[in-house]
Structure 1
Amino acid sequence: MFKALRILILLGILLAVAMTTLVGRWQAQSWKRPQVVTLYPINASGDAATDFYLERLDAAAFAGLAPYFQHEAARYGVSLSEPMRIVLGSRVRVAPPAVPRDAGPLSAISWSLRMRWWAWRQTPPSSPVPDVKLFLMYHPPDFAGALPHSIGLEKGRLGLVHLFASKAQQAQNEVVIAHEALHTFGATDKYDPSTLAPLFPEGFAEPRQEPRYPQTAAELMAGRIPVREGELRIPSALGETVVGPATAVEIGWVK
């Protein structure tokens, strides 16, 4: 009897989580009101230079995000004057759970659950209440090697975004933030993970262009501008990116 009751309680919890996820997805993709995307800076390396940068970080560093989403959404007929409201939240002082090196599904699920628990515990109070939480992991400008891979989760509607703590990198930082933000709305990557090359046609900003190369912009979820076959360029700012039709469908801009 007790075992059956425990199973019923567990099923009830799973059903509640599933319903919450479905309702959240519907609300996110209905675009009936602005979606609040709150940014929480974190000093990922713990160094003094990054701390100096974060102490002076303000909303101006992210001023291009809201107008970009408004412009791109309007191209698909979204009538909201502010599809996404970008809010700079307070700094977070506790590091998030480390991303597992094992790429298996069980490790990914375990990390996702721990990340969501950590976000619930560590997120500072913010007004307005966020629909999406992006934790910005800042690294010093002289960081050796490539930055860790950023992650955006539709389930839980949060992201872990790795960035450079440099004014010179703020425009490119906005590109990474925008990319991960759209993951939380259901957008998928549009590039080959082994080569980082944009997939054709969905990963090209102008797939019907003749000749195909050089492209002059990147599809946001592809993240690279194909200059010629085998040659890619990282966009320098959001102005060199577009939200393509396949992504617009995934996030609900096109029904």
Structure 2
Amino acid sequence: MNRISFEELLDDRTRTRAWEDFLAFAEVFDPLMVEEISCIIPIPDQLGVLIIAENEVFINRYTAAVTLQQFALAHNFPDYNTLCSVLKDTGYFGKYKIPWVCPYFALCPLEGGTHSVWVNPLKIDNIYSVDGLHYIQLLNGIKLTSPVKRYYALLRGELACGILAAIRQEKFHFTMPGHRPIDYLTLPNTAFAHSLAKRPLLEAFVTRKGELHRRYQHARFLHYYESLETDPQNLHWENWQ
């Protein structure tokens, strides 16, 4: 696979020379060839997204939402729409800008709507501002323009990491014993991670162990039960999870 070995700045609103370099460098997105995603960036003036996974880069002609759906289906991860509904119903994680979470990592949207950068908060080195503009530097050296200030990105990252820790506690409680959310996270030694570690959602769990799993399974059962009643011929059993 192609690997990134250079530092660049990507602006999701403006097509620059850096974009041309990345797009020429990128491979076609195959969800089975990707493990942990660092970020997903909409391509300016073109339908599609750039997916950065560690030091590799891929291109997909669909939106970030569809890309995450493809990735989740390929790896049998939770359905995003169902998980969103479950998280909202708990009353602890807000009602909008819900992160995408699987047992291994999380991605948080920096904005609402379809045009948003999705970033893995544990892959952020730091967020800083220059002349009133905000930038994200990833651990691999890539820099992104940020539509939000550091504080609001920190809130989005806190939410993503808090949910990730809750899911890990439920799934890996035999192999990853712990008492606080932060016990279930591997935080890098970065300025951004140091700030994350002080956030309340990483200090104490707000849901009971097993609560998210039970809610999710109940929601999926209702979804497929309704589909079975209304249109059984179009029920795709391979999507059941």
TM-score, normalised relative to structure 1: 0.26
Larger Cα-atom Rg = 1
Higher relative contact order (CA 8 A, sep 6+): 1
